[in-house]
Structure 1
Amino acid sequence: MMPPVVTVVARSGTGKTTLLEKLIAELKRRGYRVAAIKHDAHSFSIDHEGKDSWRLTRAGADTMLIASPQQIAMVRQNPEGVEPPLAECIAAYCGDVDIVLTEGFKRSEMPKIEVHRKARGEPLLCRGETHDPTLIAVASDVRLELDVPCFDLDDPAAVADFLEERFLR
């Protein structure tokens, strides 16, 4: 069975990662197993040039794992320009968690929490020019009158309460 998935969206530099850090810590404190998936529209590498793992990947390994008593990491090559569907990634790697929190999948159909900062002065992504029906809440540094709950950006416990009530009970 797939765990519930909620994505945190916002414009770049608004504080998605910061909110997720606090939210993950709060959910872990409550005893939940949490997976995090970060979307990157650009090419990235977790491998470092010259390391054995980098050499194996560079040699052509389609999948390369690094395993230790503490953790496991995987580098898997995608076909050129083909990003795997998020649901496929969750099914393959997140079956043993209680909830999956993702960052940046703003075009997805999964439930979304949008981060908003007044200083950015920009309209909401999900309630601006378009009305995204998958928006379930907003975390903001100012009070907003919306058709979804609006939480204080500095109160990750309230956001965790909301997720717990909606997805984890």
Structure 2
Amino acid sequence: MKLDRKGKLPFICQIVGYKNTGKTTLLASILGILTAGGHRVAVIKHDAHGFEMDHPGTDTYKHREAGAEGIAIVSAGRTAVLEERAAGLYELIGRFDTYDCILIEGFKEAPFPKLVMVKEAGDTGLLDRLPCVAGAVCWPGMKKQVQQQIAGLTVYGTEEAEHAARWIEEQIKGYA
């Protein structure tokens, strides 16, 4: 993996939790705050169900249908690469090594600082099981339970995305 920034990777933070706990909503809020503050942020999202980015009728779709296993499309302001293979997390991180921060949605077991979404009592098991838990983001009614479960853990409410973003900004400063 190539490194920029004097041999350092960008600050990497994961947003993890079970399905429908608000991961994407939190990530989008944090992303908006970080980019408004001038930070260059990349996002990597894990999708356990498969996805389709290309659509019938486009040239790239025709190329894929004709057998291309790798396709790149480039314009003046955007580049997209579509490959017919799974890419590993570390490979993707390497592609984004010049950004200030990489936000990762999912990949629960990866060893990066993570904010765990807690919507209900059954979600709290992730706090003890996952590596590198830096904090929790709790739905209403769960904050106190999480604070009691793990003394000293930073805990935000779902309405406190700005506080979580400010924590990430402090980490980015430490990586600069």
> What interval of TM-score do these two structures reach, taking the shorter chain for normalisation?
0.7 to 0.9
Any conservation in 1 of the 2:23–2:105 contact (CA below 8 Å)? yes
Q: 1:131 to 1:43 in 2, by over 3 A?
A: closer
The count of residues paired between Structure 1 and Structure 2 equals 160
Cα offsets for 1:131-157 (capped at 9, x unmatched): 323111111124231242001211111
Q: How does 1:122-161 map to 2 (within 5 A)?
A: 122-127=122-127, 130-141=128-139, 142-143=142-143, 144-145=146-147, 146-147=150-151, 148-161=153-166
Distance 2:170 2:38 in 1: 15
Distance 1:121 1:132 in 2: 16
Distance 1:149 1:109 in 2: 18
TM-score between both structures, scaled by the size of structure 2: 0.83
Distance 2:93 2:130 in 1: 22
Distance 2:98 2:111 in 1: 22
Classify the secondary structure of the residue corresponding to 2:129.
Answer: coil
Code of the aligned partner of 2:60: S
Ranges of 4+ aligned residues in structure 1 off by more than 6 Å: none
In the alignment, structure 1 segments of 5+ residues that lack a partner are: none
Distance 1:140 1:19 in 2: 11
Of Structure 1 and Structure 2, which has the larger fraction of its residues in helix?
2
Distance 2:64 2:20 in 1: 32
Distance 1:104 1:123 in 2: 14
Distance 1:43 1:131 in 2: 26
Question: Paired residue for 1:37?
Answer: 44
Question: Is 1:5 matched with 2:12?
Answer: yes
Question: Is 1:87 matched with 2:90?
Answer: yes
TM-score between both structures, scaled by the size of structure 1: 0.86
Identity, in percent, stands at 29
Any conservation in 2 of the 1:11–1:125 contact (CA below 8 Å)? no
